[in-house]
Amino acid sequence: MEQQEAKKVIFSGIQPSGELTIGNYLGALKNWVKLQDEYDCYFCIVDLHAITVRQVPKDLRRRTLEVLSIYIAAGIDPEKNTLFIQSHVPAHSELGWLLNCNTYMGELSRMTQYKDKSQRYGNNIAAGLFNYPVLMAADILLYQTDLVPVGVDQKQHLELSRDIAERFNNAYSPTFKIPDPYIPKAGAKIMDLQEPTKKMSKSSDNANSYILIMDPPEVIRKKISRAVTDSIGVVKYSDEQLGVKNLITILSVITGKTPEDIEKEYEGQGYAQFKKDVAEAIVSELEPIQKKVKELLSDKTYLESIYKNGTEKANYVANKTLRKVQKKMGFIPKK
Ligand code: TRP
């Protein structure tokens, strides 16, 4: 027990706003699995974040449980980690508001993700999309988080979380732990299969751009065979061959081989066999996960017991921080 208290706290989350891709799996989930023994981990399904863009209610419901199932199927042990659904812990929304009043419009206007998205959605952009990094700060700060595993696209939001925390601590008194980014040793950023200069994203319009964790084997094989390469014809881990480089990354993360090993293995060969092997590696990695996800989704009672448990622990810790914040800001305790 004592040892558990000494463990550093990790918080991360995935939005249930679309189907998860192998980018989520290889870039995030697979690393989270490695953290669970060393850290006290909170892995959240951030459904409140998902609604910054309008969701079809029945899809949101289905995906929320699917993401939870994927967490577990990927190897995140619900006994060792706190797995929960963000909207089940009201402190996230509550602290979100309090922190909104401690965040400047200028700071939020500088967020590059907001700038990109507001260009894409024009005038029909929800205020929530502007405020979303503050909710993310609340997520992280509620648990006195030490480390946040995030990709580069979220680094700016994490820096904002740190700024908000520091400002609050200075204005009132030390309340929040200042979180650091956690950059995994073997960080993998999986790129779009059609435009390998972009990160693989579930929101791409072209289904050949990404592989979903739940894609059937024949779909995976087809998408990999169509993945963009180049006319150089050499399997090389090089910035001149971003398509091939991405496929090497995928193969390397799945098999544990280094990119150099892979280059050597395919020396003197074109892309045909290489692509076949990449596809088979993905298929055999995902098959057991897909099977487990389907099993889990058919056992709603089990899933319910997992998120109820997680919520209980998360609520307890989050409320402790929220009460402190409320008290320091001058709110009358409920008693
Ligand atoms: N904003 C993150 C994303 O879009 C998801 C997220 C929400 C998150 N809250 C978080 C990630 C807290 C890490 C920590 O990917």
Classified by CATH at the fold level, domain 207-294 comes out as: Tyrosyl-Transfer RNA Synthetase (1.10.240)
Helix or strand run (H / E) with residue 148: strand 147-149
- Quick check: helix, strand or coil at residue 9? strand
276 given a catalytic annotation: no
117 given a catalytic annotation: yes
Query: pLDDT tens-digit profile of 70-107?
Result: 999 999 999 999 999 999 999 999 999 999 999 999 99
Q: Spell out the domain ranges in the chain.
A: 2-188+300-329, 207-294
Residue that is written with structure tokens 């409920």 in the block: 334
Strand order in the sheet with 40-45: 82-85, 40-45, 9-14, 147-149, 180-182
Among 15, 141, 201, residue to substitute to test ligand 1 (most atoms within 8 Å of Cβ) = 15
Task: Determine the pLDDT at residue 187.
Answer: 59
The amino acid sitting at 166 is: E
d(CA 67, CA 105): 32
On the question of a common fold for 2-188+300-329 and 207-294, the answer reads no
Going from the Cα of 157 to the center of ligand 1, the distance in angstroms, rounded, reads 9
Positions of the chain with pLDDT lower than 50, given as ranges: 2
202 given a catalytic annotation: yes
Tokens of 72: 């577990």
Contacts 24+ apart (CB under 8 A), 95-98: 95/138, 95/141, 95/142, 95/318, 95/321, 95/322, 95/325, 96/131, 96/134, 96/135, 96/138, 98/325, 98/326, 98/329
**Selection from 177, 209, 234, 269 nearest residue 22 by Cα:** 209
Class of residue 300 by CB neighbours under 10 A (exposed 0-12, middle 13-18, buried 19+): exposed
Binding positions are: 15-17, 23-24, 139, 151-153, 190, 199-203
Residue range 2-188+300-329, CATH number:
3.40.50.620
Tokens of 19: 């189907």
Length of the chain: 335
Going from the Cα of 49 to the center of ligand 1, the distance in angstroms, rounded, reads 8
Tokens of 326: 């409320």
d(CA 263, CA 266): 6
Binding positions for L-tryptophan are: 139
Query: How does strand 180-182 pair with strand 147-149?
Result: parallel
d(CA 85, CA 176): 22
Q: pTM for this structure?
A: 0.93
d(CA 170, CA 325): 13
Going from the Cα of 12 to the center of ligand 1, the distance in angstroms, rounded, reads 6
Take atom 13 of ligand 1 and give the residue whose Cα is closest: 12
